[in-house]
């Protein structure tokens, strides 16, 4: 769903990537520098690979940033929903969640570092990714739905695991007539 939205949106709103001039190699002669503030709107790309020139026009928003944030945000929310209160160490879950989000943010930052996107493209992609992940978590996966779900603590889980699951065999007991009407006290 996220990739489809990104591809549709990027073709309608896409802008030039930071490395567009290096890929396009336009045939523009500005050696005279008489008018340094001239806007060039008519040019022909001399770049050898037309596919790369087309891709260099599709910057807004970053699909990599969006997808990395969808994955990492969903993983963090999934862990929060499923493991909250079950781990014996309370620091383990937040550290794991921060590590996962750190990987998603690192992937997003790498798109700025390698000049594939502007910072605003990455920020928009991250925001869309987090939004889509929250929608998927709440409305599709329904992870935070409390219906038909019992929450138990770690101690209760340990006690449930330690209870033997077998029952003792029952012995046939013959009750005499004089004791049949009396209540049984154990």
pLDDT digit string (tens) for 123-146? Answer: 999 999 999 999 999 999 888 876
- pTM reported for the whole predicted model: 0.69
Q: In the Cβ-directed half-sphere of 134, how many Cα atoms lie within 13 Å? A: 6
CA distance 142 to 138: 5
Helix residue ranges, H only, 60-91: 63-83
- Radius of gyration, CA atoms only, the chain: 31
**pLDDT for res 33:** 64
CB neighbours of 164 closer than 8 A, spacing ≥ 6? none
Q: Give the model's confidence band at 36: pLDDT under 50 very low, under 70 low, under 90 confident, else very high.
A: low
pLDDT digit string (tens) for 155-178? Answer: 776 777 765 555 555 555 555 555
Q: Give the model's confidence band at 180: pLDDT under 50 very low, under 70 low, under 90 confident, else very high.
A: low
Residues 67/79, Cβ–Cβ less than 8 Å? no
CB neighbours of 45 closer than 8 A, spacing ≥ 6? 24, 25, 26, 53
Domain parsing of the chain, residue ranges: 60-159
**pLDDT for res 172:** 56
- Write down the catalytic residue from 64, 84, 118, 185: 64
CA distance 11 to 55: 10
185 has a pLDDT exceeding 70: no
- Write down the catalytic residue from 84, 117, 118, 185: 117
CA distance 96 to 175: 62
Is 19 one of the annotated active-site residues of the chain?
no
């Amino acid at each position: 769903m996220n990739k489809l939205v990104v591809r549709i949106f990027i073709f309608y709103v896409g802008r030039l990537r930071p490395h567009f001039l290096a890929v396009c190699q336009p045939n523009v002669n500005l050696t005279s520098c008489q008018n340094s503030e001239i806007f060039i709107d008519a040019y022909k790309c001399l770049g050898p690979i037309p596919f790369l020139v087309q891709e260099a026009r599709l910057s807004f928003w970053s699909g990599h940033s969006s997808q990395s944030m969808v994955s990492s945000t969903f993983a963090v929310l999934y862990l929060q929903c499923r493991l909250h209160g079950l781990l014996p160490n309370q620091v383990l879950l937040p550290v794991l969640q921060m590590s996962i989000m750190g990987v998603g943010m690192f992937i997003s930052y790498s798109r700025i570092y390698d000049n594939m996107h502007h910072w605003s493209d990455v920020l928009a992609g991250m925001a869309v990714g987090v939004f889509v992940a929250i929608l998927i978590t709440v409305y599709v996966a329904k992870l935070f739905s409390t219906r038909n779900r019992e929450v138990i603590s770690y101690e209760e889980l340990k006690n449930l695991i330690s209870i033997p699951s077998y029952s003792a065999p029952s012995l046939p007991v013959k009750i005499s007539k004089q004791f049949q009407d009396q209540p049984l006290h154990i």
